[in-house]
Amino acid sequence: MDKLIIDGGNPLRGSVQISGAKNAALPILVATLLAPGEHELHNVPELVDVSFMLSLLGRIGCPSLVGDGKGPECVRLDTSRVAFSEAPYDVVRKMRASVLVLGPLLARCGRAQVSMPGGCAIGTRPIDQHLKGLEALGCTFELDGGYIRGKVDQLVGAEINLDMPTVTGTENILMAAVLAEGESVIRNAAAEPEIVDLVRFLRSMGARIRGEGTSTLEIDGVPALRPARRPYSILADRIEAGTYLLGAAITGGDVMAKGAPAEEMSAVLEALEATGCEVEVTDEGVRVSRSGPLRPVSIETTPHPGFPTDMQAQWMALMTQADGTSEVLETIFENRFMHAAELIRMGAKIQIAGNQAMVEGGDLKGATVMATDLRASASLVLAGLVAEGRTEMLRLYHLDRGYSHLVDKLKTLGAEVARVPDDVRVTTGKAPAATAAV
């Protein structure tokens, strides 16, 4: 196991290239199951979660090739043959998004056996809405021994009213509905940009879908899909972009996030402007800089286009440096304030009451901290960049799930950061040379 060593105090300055969005890449990789044949995807981020998904698809019988002379962010998949319609526990337990194979396998094979999902410990995140929608399309399910076993003779279009706008639930139902007989309508659907990207990919394979980016999706089922005629490029990651831009804000630096999808980041960019940061949107990407004091700004997480829950932890870290007190209200997931305890270890003044956190600005000092989930780990990195002294962060496998080449990108921006084995003890001087990139 590795740890991250950060020597704080250096403002981040420069440009960083934003990778493809993990939350778009995973459902798009799974969606290739719907169209037998060879698929080529570009801008696929180099992440552990992507590797897990490719491994799962390989276990199902769909081999993949990464790179192939076109760079590591190019993936070629052959979904001509599905040998097994099962997603086993040893793969699914590592990544909750594995449950996304349920809808496509039912559509392709008429049956599926998927282990109950795992992933970050940030709440129960039940899949009842997935099953509700798929049952409306004609599927039947039984839960046995930790597995969801589903079958269907013929998917039939239906009107589905979700109880809440679940992202993965919307994606799972959508991927099944494109091959259902007749018309389907998904109401109270999630409208995140990653779903819009999935719709565009499905449409490139021949699906008929309307309403992406709204709460109502209309799908005219088709008998079959075929691979897209040209390579499909994954949407840039708005959460990765937001994290680096908050890095500029928290350190008093100046960062250009090249390729950042500004239109999909409006809530975060507006909040940054309210803190006193300068925000500039150009054809190249989004640039954020700060030279004066940081004003406190309260946020509430809500479904897109509101402030994203995946930026809440990073925002809390930023507010530890504000000149005053701010409120962070988490309305999407329970148990998503676990990073607060680690920030408090670094000297943050945070009070938690249910889903509300009150953050009072002040100085941070380096400490040994432990990541509890993906976005919590990003918040600790931001805190370490501005803290006095050295921060050592453990459990880096969370970062590996969502931030491609983090160490290299931070070093390019001037950060003193390195990844080293857990048993390496560094007592003085600058952070040592990294032994591996995140």
Catalytic annotation, pick one of 62, 120, 139, 277: 120
Residue 431 reports pLDDT greater than 70 = no
Report pLDDT for 92: 77
User: Where does 126-258 have alpha helices with state H?
Assistant: 128-136, 167-177, 193-204, 238-251
Establish whether 277 is a catalytic residue: no
Give Cα 90 distance to the centre of its chain: 21
What b/e sequence results for 216-246 when a residue is b if at least 16 CB atoms lie within 10 Å of its CB, and e otherwise?
A: ebbbebeeebebbeeebbbbbbbbbbbbbbb
pLDDT in tens, 173-191: 999 999 999 999 999 999 9
Please say whether the beta carbons of 123 and 87 come within 8 A: no
Range with the lowest mean pLDDT among 81-90, 106-115, 223-232, 408-417? Answer: 81-90
Range with the lowest mean pLDDT among 39-53, 113-127, 264-278, 313-327? Answer: 113-127
Mean pLDDT of the chain: 93
What pairs with residue 368 in β-bridges? Answer: 392
Please say whether the beta carbons of 105 and 144 come within 8 A: no
Residue 201 reports pLDDT greater than 60 = yes
pLDDT in tens, 349-393: 999 999 999 999 999 999 999 988 888 899 999 999 999 999 999
Report pLDDT for 370: 93
pLDDT in tens, 4-58: 999 999 999 999 999 999 999 999 999 999 999 999 999 999 999 999 999 999 9
CA dist 101 and 332 (Å) reads 24
SS3 127: coil
Residue 394 reports pLDDT greater than 60 = yes
Report pLDDT for 120: 43
pLDDT in tens, 293-304: 999 999 999 999
Report pLDDT for 422: 85
Please say whether the beta carbons of 34 and 62 come within 8 A: no
Please say whether the beta carbons of 320 and 343 come within 8 A: yes
In this predicted model, which residue has the larger pLDDT, 117 or 33? 33
In 188-307, DSSP assigns E strands to 208-210, 216-220, 232-233, 254-258, 278-281, 285-289, 299-300
Residue 72 reports pLDDT greater than 80 = no
Give Cα 431 distance to the centre of its chain: 28
CA dist 210 and 162 (Å) reads 17
pLDDT in tens, 118-172: 544 434 457 899 999 999 999 999 988 888 999 999 999 999 999 999 999 999 9
Q: Please state, in angstroms and as integers, the Cα–Cα distance from residue 25 to each residue in 195, 202, 222, following that order.
A: 10, 13, 23
Q: Is residue 78 packed enough to be buried (19+ CB in 10 Å), middle (13-18) or exposed (0-12)?
A: middle
Residue 286 reports pLDDT greater than 90 = yes
Spatial neighbors of 175 by CB under 8 A, at least 6 apart, are 27, 30, 31, 34, 100, 103, 104, 107, 198, 202
Report pLDDT for 121: 42
Report pLDDT for 81: 96
Domains of the chain and any CATH numbers: 2-19+236-421 (3.65.10.10), 22-233 (3.65.10.10)
Q: Is the dihedral of CA 26, 398, 121, 387 positive or negative?
A: negative
